[in-house]
Structure 1
Amino acid sequence: MIKLIVGLGNPGQQYEKTRHNAGFLFLDELVSDSGCDWVNESRFDGLLAVIRVSGNKVMLLKPTTFMNRSGQSVGKVARYYRLVPEEILVIHDELDFDAGVVKLKKNGGHAGHNGLRDIIAHLGSKEFYRLRVGIGRPSAGKVVADFVLSNPSKNELNSILSAFDLARSYMGQMIAGDMSVVMNKLNSG
């Protein structure tokens, strides 16, 4: 069962709609759908919300540290609530997928994603779930950091929002722990 969903992103208005903030954007939609509000929890270096999905209560976390220090916030929440990595779902941008592709996995390395690298370091484990939201890759010769910290085109954003809709349709199953069923459906496309 998933007890904590973490969205990765960078705080601040200048990063709000960037590709790198896909995790924040996804959680903002969940909070909006539920009608609840974010609460600033300085002891956790993050914004927290608690929602119910299909009768199950789940915490949502947006670290207010910058992306590269996301694990600091995730680690504090995990220790305080005595969560094991398998109870955590991290939602993040994925360069290796086209915009609009969304896949679920458990375990694995960080693939150069500094937010994941820091979470792995602070949890001391790779055994958490990841919902990977495709943002595409920059064209040849473009700097990856500039690409992820820029806003997607209108078409790319629409594709990403469609991926959010698809992922939200499986949220109840993910929170209930039916991960293999969701993986089969999301990852086969």
Structure 2
Amino acid sequence: MATTIRKHILVVGLGNYTHPGTRHNVGMMVVDSIAQRFNVPWSEKSSWKAEVATARTSITTRHRATPPPSSSTSGAKKSVRPPTADTIFDTSAAVVEASTTTTAPMVKKKEPWVTSTMELTITLLKPLQLMNVSGTSVSKAAKDLGIPAQDILVIHDDMERDIGKISFKSEGSANGHNGIKSCVKALGTAHFRRLRIGIGRPPVSDRSPKVVAGFVLSRFKPLEIEKLEELVYDKAGDEIIRVSTTEDKKTKKA
């Protein structure tokens, strides 16, 4: 027995398109790595104000079919009335039957194997707009492709995590991220997945807007780029596919 499921997801890399290599641009860097992994080219989609690439993959799993519910036997067992003093009957046949009848061991029937294939289409998106209005590109693409919010995954930078630390979030507040705020507003819902990529923290405790802006717009150092390549790029792609092809399973909230 074999089943095939087709699914289309939208994976968005947030960033500042005009500032490549900066910390705020790590979402775009991750989707670039996914496009390179699948060897798919980018093209500009003017109606979405974004760059787009489309990748396809399939995941096949094999498992036993779910057994049907067992049917309960109807009717009560016949009761046997014990003999009384005035009851006369021949017990020889009953003794012979009891001594020769054995109960065969019950053999559990194995259900047949089922092969399931998920054919996954991944549309990668890099908005060409400013971060705080990038949600309009996401909503336009989702609408045109007919992709529901729960099948959208947005990758963005996270200043509260160390370099290379990643975490999934299935929904919730924007936690001050302007790109996520824009996506929530444009989509009309916060019920979409996010993949947060740690970019480290400012070297000072000052979190004033000027200091934060200067930090997120600073470029990654060569050793930090190596760390992203080692800890994030392949792992992020694998996790996105795993989460997107696992049915009825909530993503990790952190």
Instruction: Please give the TM-score of this superposition, normalised by the length of structure 2.
Output: 0.67
Q: Aligned match of 1:108 in 163, 172, 184?
A: 172
Secondary structure, counterpart of 1:132 in structure 2: strand
Mapping of 1:1-16 within 5 angstroms?
Answer: 3-12=9-18, 15-16=19-20
What is aligned with 1:40?
44
**Residue 154 of structure 1: how far off its partner (Å):** 2.3
Residue range with higher mean Cα deviation, 77-86 or 56-65: 77-86
Higher radius of gyration, 1 or 2: 2
Determine the C-alpha separation between the residues in 1 that align with 2:248 and 2:227.
23
Residues in 2 aligned to 1:147 and 1:105: alpha-carbon distance in whole angstroms:
24
| Alignment match, 2:203 | 139
| C-alpha displacement of 1:53 | 3.0
Question: Which structure has more helix as a fraction of its residues?
Answer: 1
Instruction: Measure, in 2, the Cα distance between the counterparts of 1:60 and 1:2.
Output: 11
Indicate the residue corresponding to 2:147 in structure 1. Answer: 83
Provide the residue aligned with 2:28 in structure 1.
Answer: 24
Greater shift, 136-145 or 31-40, is seen at 136-145
Which residue in the other structure is 2:107 paired with? none
On the 8 A contact 2:34/2:233 being kept in 1, the answer is no
Unaligned 5+ segments in structure 2 are: 1-6, 59-118
Residue 183, structure 1, aligned to residue 247, structure 2: no
Q: Does 2:238 correspond to 1:164? A: no
Q: Which whole-Å CA distance do the structure 2 matches of 1:123 and 1:21 have between them?
A: 22
- After superposing the two structures, state which structure 1 stretch, 175-184 or 54-63, moved more: 175-184
Partner residue, 2:129: 65
- Preserved contact between residue 173 and residue 179 of structure 1 (Cα < 8 Å): no
State the percentage of identical aligned residues: 35
* Number of matched pairs: 183
- Offset of 1:130 from its aligned partner? 0.3
Measure how far apart 1:171 and its partner are. Answer: 3.1
Q: Sort the Cα spacing of 1:135 and 1:178 in 2 relative to 1 into closer, same or farther, 3 A.
A: farther
Is the Cα contact below 8 Å between 1:53 and 1:171 reproduced in 2? no
Q: When the two structures are superposed, what TM-score results if normalisation uses the length of structure 1?
A: 0.89
Structure 1 distance, partners of 2:121, 2:249, is: 21
CA contact (8 A) 1:134 1:160 kept: no
Matched to 2:150, the amino acid is: E
The RMSD of aligned alpha carbons is: 1.9
Structure 1 residues 159 and 57 mapped into 2: Cα distance closer, same or farther (>3 Å)?
Answer: same
Equivalent residues of 1:23, 1:92 under 8 A apart = yes
After TM superposition, the structure 1 = structure 2 runs for residues 90-129 of structure 1, keeping only pairs within 5 Å, are 90-129=154-193
* 1:173 aligned residue: 242
Deviations 1:22-67 (CA, angstroms, capped at 9, x unpaired): 1110111111111111110000010111101334111110000011
Secondary structure in structure 2 of the residue aligned to 1:159 = helix
C-alpha distance in structure 2 between counterparts of 1:85 and 1:181, whole Å: 14
**In structure 1, what residue type is equivalent to 2:221?**
S
User: Which range is displaced more, 54-63 or 153-162?
Assistant: 153-162
| Partner secondary structure for residue 51 of structure 1 | strand
Residues 181, 118 of structure 1: alpha-carbon distance in 2 compared, 3 angstrom cutoff: closer
Letter of the 1:35 partner, please give it.
N
